[in-house]
Structure 1
Amino acid sequence: MPNRKISTQAKGKLRALYPELRILPDDWNFVIDTDEDEVFYYIATEKKEVITRDHPKFGKLPEPWMFKMVGEGTGKVPKLAYYNRETRKTTRADPRFSADTLENLRNMAQRTEGLEIASSLRRSCKAESMADMDRQPIGKTNIRSKYEIMHTIDSGDGEIGAMNGGVFKSAGDCLHMGYKETEMLRRLKHGSVSMYTAGFIDFQANIGSVYVEFCDGGSLNDVWDQYNCRNTWARKYEVLDQKVHLPEGFLWHVLIGLVDGLAYLANGRYYVSQDVEDTEPAKDWIPVLHRDIKPENILLRSRDTIGSRKYPYCVLSDFGLATDDLGADHPKADHDHLSGLQCGTPTYYAPELCWNTRLQPSEYEQQRKFPPGPGSKHTRASDLWAVGACVFNLAMAESPAEDGGMGGNYPYAHAILPVPDGVPNNIWWRSQASRRKRLDIGDELGYSPELRKSILYMTQWDPAKRPGAAQLVQILKKMVKAAGHDRMPPEELPDWAFKVHDYHSAMPRPAED
């Protein structure tokens, strides 16, 4: 395909000017053809060779739009714009998210039997509040034929954290657990909670799927890993002035969003608005415990406006271990939960869920049940501690190694390492001796006293001293204001902090496969 000659310097300026180009995944480049001056995207590596007019991350433009050169700019840098082939009008605004496009997609989805409109699109439609959003019922028949798979991230066994492929498949003995998770996701409606799109459980055929929103920015663990790798390098080569830390604005964004999500799980209401000053729960709400909060289960989703400088949405995902927080006399009580059977990720157990070294029973018992007393089961306080530990690790941006020193590969700044000689790893992580008493980010990193106090407050050793999530939201709203980050323009995160996918460059395949 013949294309215009554009210097590397001019391409760099175009990337800086146009979000469509700035957000291209690694290894991807672009050309402008000489026939219609249209922008094409290409990749040429050993693993993949593609040239396409469809953006590898954002997909096709709606008809009749194209992204093209519309004139000569200054300094030999072409002028680009979205061009409507019918009206011949140009715009810098992405037509994928215009009011007309969203309304057309909305109408198409509503006319499609058995398929509800995608959750990320529903978030873009301002006409209805999330709380009033209709959800497709959980079906009894297979609806996989209505979906196409763009990319498979993992096998769906949860080994790498939340399942972020938009679809979770279940079969066999897991169906009843899958139905419970699907039913729970369907009734949860909060911006910081994974959004249900559709689902079915066919007990006779022994298959089931739940379709949830796709979060394109990876997880908090991925962000932490990028910073940790750079800090490990700086420490190794003794160039400590090159260590990097996340902007405080992003930490507040994560903290307040996730705590408001926990408040919603506990009380069924949103509290983050400045107009809301109380902490009362919604009437007849059944509280939900997540029970597996960790950086891998907090996903990131881009803003709906391409090129937006706002921080991505933080989404609490993987509700496979979540349960309703009901008393023993309730007919739907989770008796495994109430009896203290362990579940979740031991490295992110709150201190009260860990065994005191003076009371440790057999190794078998330590791995089977939580200790008696306040930590006999997961609680809203233990979920809150886990969120605080996640933010603490982001702030520290490096971790102790499991064999001693710094330079660890996992976000374990809240832990005491190395594991003592003679103590099995799985026993150490279930003991209170493995936890730091105070998750204190200190003054040296340059963060505000308000952020430091907030993390300390929600990660107090004694669960009785931690606030409720709704109460903490009200406190955090005052804290972020005192820190000046309620009005401060957010400091951008570097491009390398987030994953950028190119799934739209591949041909989709039927979800039946």
Structure 2
Amino acid sequence: MVNPLLPEMTDLPAGWVGQFDNNDRIFFRGPSGYLTYDHPMKGAIPKPWQLKVDRSVPNPREYYYNTQTREISHSNPRFKEEIMNSSLLGVSRLVRESATMTVNTGGTLEKSRRQAIENKSIRHLYTIVKTLDAGNGAIGGMNGGVHVVRLKGTGKLYVEKRFKKDDLQALRDGTPGMGVVEIGITHRVMHGGLAGYINGFIEPNDIHPASASLFLEFCDLGSLDDLIKCHAQRLGTRDAVDVPERFVWHAIVGLCDALSYLWGGKSFITNENHAGTGPAKGWKPILHRDMKPDNILIRSRATNGATKYPFLVISDFGLAIDNHKQESGACGTRHFWAPELLWDPPATNNWHLGNFPPNQYHTHESDLYALGVCIYNLCRPTNAIVHGQRWLGALSHFKFEAYPTNRDEIDLWLSSRRSRKSDLDVGSSYSPYLRDVVKKMTGWNVSQRGAAHQLEHILIPTVKKCGYYDEDFSPSEALPAWAIKKHDYHSR
């Protein structure tokens, strides 16, 4: 549990502890006795500031001390604009603007500008801190490597996604390669619930692209999949708790707003001025096509000890399209396909595995269904053994009783409607309002389900009606400390 009086000392990854020296300056002890004044998650405090603890009061609390002016402050100097700008003087102005963005509000994003996509490598501006995916296909086959990187000359962490040469080549019909499309879409979208573009390049070799990278904001608290699995692992133990309903509404509103933005280029859910106005002029609607808990990331707020939940961010536009040209082949993660994309009668052969049913393809309605399934599993995670196999995490929408005993039939089963539950009820632990909204998001009738932007007149009034519109949460509504993934990349 993070102590609001000692947020930096108590908000630490596993194996780390906060201590103080003879001058009351706080330092951190890591695994194997490693000592540092730099917070392993939040990074170094810019000079001339130090983090100290005031032990002269009954309840000791942290403060920031300026060694030059002797100023005492309770505001985190990492986010003082003048300090951040001075530490980024060697970086281009647009990258500096991205680096100093510490809020996720639409108005702030709309006023910001984007660094252009470069035509030459900029990898030399960054240092690799941690490799998340070596790009060898062990984790995902759609990239050439994913790394946590540090922008040189600063303490800012980002994520670099590298692309394989094959993913940059144009298709036979002239359509740009998937890597080029992903970089372009990520550069185009500007919404607090979508992965934030920082920088990128596509380096040509003669005519065709030969190398490319996409640099994104670093979401420091893991993914929704991590959070769901943490809750699933504690089912049946004394630590088992439901995810707070206020957090569930926080997730639904923010993520539906992000999906509505992909459809129309506006915040249709959270901005009442946009409701009913239709898409922005000239906007090309974007389908995500791979909504799943792994692709919903969690990013902390700038304020220590904030009483608002962290931001949830839709990431990975590797399968996203904005050209309205539907492909015949199936794509995405079949565990989260909408029912209209599943075979009924059941799939029986390999051709079925590689294709959707006739005249079916990903839509904005199927993106909403996949998000609804994520929310359902957030409320009702799975921890079960089925035919000797452990099912853990976001799998509660499956009919375990229908799971095939023949392993050769599993993929066919996953691609068929018979594998899914049709009524996804989050249960009586939650309000009837939440149960109804999740059922609507996951309805099997496409026209009744609709798309995210069609919730524009429903969602906010419903949240207000059930008393969860205020983002500030009470101590009893805080997410458990064990539910949030914490890194120590700043110590590397």
- Structure-2-length-normalised TM-score: 0.87
The 2-side partners of 1:452 and 1:164 are apart by 39
Task: Check whether the contact 1:263–1:269 (CA below 8 A) recurs between aligned residues.
Answer: yes
Q: Give 1:456's aligned amino acid.
A: K
Deviation at 1:474, TM superposition (A): 2.6
**2:450 is the alignment partner of 1:472:** no
Match of 1:144 in 2: 123
1:67 deviation in Å? 0.9
Indicate which of 191, 208, 212 corresponds to 1:208. Answer: 212
Q: CA deviation at 1:262?
A: 0.5
Pick one of 256, 261, 266 that aligns with 2:263: 266
Instruction: Please give the alpha-carbon distance, in whole angstroms, between the structure 2 residues aligned to 1:279 and 1:396.
Output: 35
Give the partner amino acid of 2:355. Answer: K
Instruction: Determine the structure 2 residue equivalent to 1:174.
Output: 167
Matches for 1:1-12 after TM superposition, within 5 Å: none
5 Å-filtered alignment, 1:88-487, equals 88-104=70-86, 109-111=91-93, 116-117=95-96, 119=98, 121-124=100-103, 129-156=108-135, 157=137, 159=139, 165=148, 166-175=159-168, 176-204=177-205, 206-231=210-235, 233-234=236-237, 243-271=240-268, 272-326=270-324, 333=325, 338-357=326-345, 360=347, 362-373=348-359, 376-403=360-387, 408-418=391-401, 419-422=403-406, 424-443=409-428, 446-487=429-470
In structure 2, how many angstroms separate the alpha carbons of the residues matched to 1:485 and 1:404? 41
Q: 1:124 to 1:480 in 2, by over 3 A?
A: closer
Residues 403 and 417 of structure 1 are in contact (CA less than 8 Å); yes or no, is this contact kept in structure 2?
A: no
Structure 1 residue 399: deviation in Å?
Answer: 4.7
Task: Measure how far apart 1:487 and its partner are.
Answer: 3.2
After superposition, give the CA deviation of every residue in 1:112-163 in whole Å (9 maximum; x if it has no partner): xxx7237463244989731232111111111100011222222245837995
Q: Which moved more, 1:277-286 or 1:217-226?
A: 277-286
In 1, are the aligned partners of 2:342 and 2:415 still within 8 Å (CA)? yes
In the comparison of the two structures, how many residue pairs are matched?
461
- Distance change (3 Å), C-alpha of 1:192 and 1:122: same
Q: CA-to-partner distance for each residue in 1:374-400, whole Å, 9 max, x for gaps?
A: xx1101110000000000000113355
Show structure 1 runs of 5+ residues with no match.
1-11, 327-332, 507-513
CA distance in 2 between partners of 1:191 and 1:127 (Å)? 6
Looking at structure 1, the residues matched to 266 and 134 of structure 2 have their Cα atoms a distance apart, in angstroms, of 34
Equivalent residue letter for 1:273: N
Question: Residue by residue, what CA displacement relative to the aligned partner does 1:160-188 show, whole Å, maximum 9, x if unpaired?
Answer: 79957300011321223211100110000
- Counterpart CA distance in 2 for 1:288 and 1:426 is 28
Structure number with larger C-alpha Rg:
1
Matching residue of 1:23: 11
Q: Which amino acid aligns with 1:28?
A: W
Q: What is the percent sequence identity of the aligned residues?
A: 36
- For the residue of structure 2 that corresponds to 1:153, the secondary structure is strand
C-alpha separation in 2, matches of 1:193 and 1:299: 9
Q: Deviations over 1:246-285 (max 9, x none)?
A: 0000000111111110100000001213444325111111
Distance 1:104 1:255 in 2: 38
1:330 matched residue in structure 2: none
Deviation readout 1:203-245 (Å, 9 max, x if unpaired): 32832211011100100010001110000x43xxxx7xx6311
| Superposition deviation, residue 403 in structure 1 | 2.5
One-letter code aligned to 2:301: R
Which amino acid letter does the alignment assign opposite residue 221 of structure 1?
D
More moved, 251-260 vs 159-168: 159-168
1:367 deviation in Å?
Answer: 1.3
The match for 1:87 is 69
| Paired residue type of 2:427 | G
- Indicate if the aligned counterparts of 1:299 and 1:317 stay in contact, CA closer than 8 A: yes
C-alpha distance after superposition, 1:314-363 (max 9, x if no partner): 0001110111152xxxxxx4xxxx242111001111100000026x4x51
1:427 Cα shift?
0.8
How many angstroms does 1:289 deviate by?
0.5
Whether the aligned pair in 1 keeps the contact of 2:341 and 2:357 (CA below 8 Å) is yes
Of stretches 53-62 and 469-478 in structure 1, the one that deviates more from structure 2 is 469-478
Q: 2: distance between equivalents of 1:484 and 1:433?
A: 37
* Contact 2:130–2:147, Cα closer than 8 Å, also in 1: no
Give the residue type in structure 1 aligned to 2:77. P
2:111 maps to a residue whose letter is D
The equivalences for 1:58-77 within 5 A come to 58-70=42-54, 72-74=56-58
Amino acid aligned to 2:310? P
Within 1, Cα distance between the matches of 2:441 and 2:425? 11
Tell me the TM-score normalised to structure 1 length. Answer: 0.84
* Aligned-partner Cα distance in 1 for 2:16–2:234: 24
- In structure 2, distance between residues paired with 1:262 and 1:120: 25
1:51 aligns to what? 35
Instruction: Give me the whole-angstrom Cα distance separating, in 1, the residues matched to 2:467 and 2:107.
Output: 32
Amino acid at match of 2:64: Y
Q: 2:20 aligns with which of 23, 32, 50?
A: 32
The amino acid of 1:357's aligned partner reads: P
Looking at structure 2, the residues matched to 371 and 275 of structure 1 have their Cα atoms a distance apart, in angstroms, of 39
Amino acid at match of 2:425: D
CA distance in 1, matches of 2:311, 2:373: 19
Tell me: CA distance 1:174–1:306, structure 2 relative to 1, closer, same or farther (3 Å).
Answer: same
Q: Once the 2 structures are TM-superposed, how far is the Cα of residue 288 of structure 1 from its aligned partner?
A: 0.4
Deviation at 1:404, TM superposition (A): 7.6
Q: How far apart are the structure 2 equivalents of 1:61 and 1:454? A: 43
